[in-house]
A = this chain, B = another copy of it.
């Protein structure tokens, strides 16, 4: 379709989460994840947070409610807000994951994520081979095509790679697998930073991905498992190459 004139520059386009209470949530969340307030400890009370961030108690409370929703905190009258034990934290939450990543050594973080991928993705591939719908298979193939047409080591490549693996998870048709998508997103983003900064990159990326699609399309669970395992082996190999 013909592209008309550029629309006049819209308002500063502040991103969706940059309201006061969101920044408060991020500010407090980061301090929890980085250990400033360890599990079991008490946070400053609402009035104090308000002073620290120059915000009203209302905004502070809404931020804290958000963190409640992520399992980081519980609040009680007269006590205050106490940091929950780590096993209650929703580590797979998008925000929590981001705060966590910022507070951790990048390589350690990445290795942990890869370990999870090695456990989950082969199993997901088996299910996908057994029950992917034609539409889900099409999405997978499309992501593969995008990878093949993207420049190596580009943002577009990473984006297509992420789409590929999310599509594989979705094709397994078990909704409880979906939340783990964030692990893949973070791992690939982190991996991208790593490979570019260390000037190494997985050589076999495209053929290995193609192999996965082939196995799923052929409805061969075991072949799909092997293909995904090979893919992860290659990635880990690359990672290992950056160990100094």
Q: A residues touching B (Cβ–Cβ < 8 Å)?
A: 16, 21, 25, 58, 61-63, 65-71, 74, 76, 86-94, 112-113, 115-116, 118-120, 123-124, 127, 166, 170, 174-179, 181, 183
Q: Which 8 residue pairs of A and B lie closest in terms of their CB atoms, listed nearest first?
A: A69-B69, A119-B123, A66-B69, A65-B65, A62-B65, A69-B70, A116-B176, A65-B66
Q: A92 contacts B183, CB within 8 Å?
A: no
Q: Take A70-B70, A113-B176 as given contacts and tell me if A90 and B90 are in contact as well, using a CB distance cutoff of 8 Å.
A: yes
Tell me if A's interface is mostly helix, strand, loop or mixed.
helix
Choose from B21, B91, B174 the contact partner of A116 (Cβ within 8 Å).
Answer: B174
A179 touches B92 (CB 8 A): yes
- Oligomer copy total: 2
For residue A175, which residues in chain B have a CB less than 8 angstroms away from its CB? 86, 91, 112
Query: Chain B residues near A16 (CB, 8 Å)?
Result: 74, 76
**Across-interface contacts of A118 in B (CB, < 8 A):** 123
- Determine if A90 and B92 form an interchain contact, defined as CB atoms under 8 angstroms apart: yes
Complex contact B90–A178 (CB within 8 A):
no
A103 to chain B, nearest CB (A): 12
Chain B residue nearest to A121 (CB atoms) is: B119
Q: Which of B76, B86, B112, B176 contacts A92 (CB 8 A)?
A: B176
Residues in B with CB closer than 8 Å to A65 are 21, 62-63, 65-66, 69
- In the complex with contacts A16-B76, A87-B178, A178-B86, A94-B119 CB distance below 8 A: no
Q: A62–B75 Cα gap in the complex (Å)?
A: 13
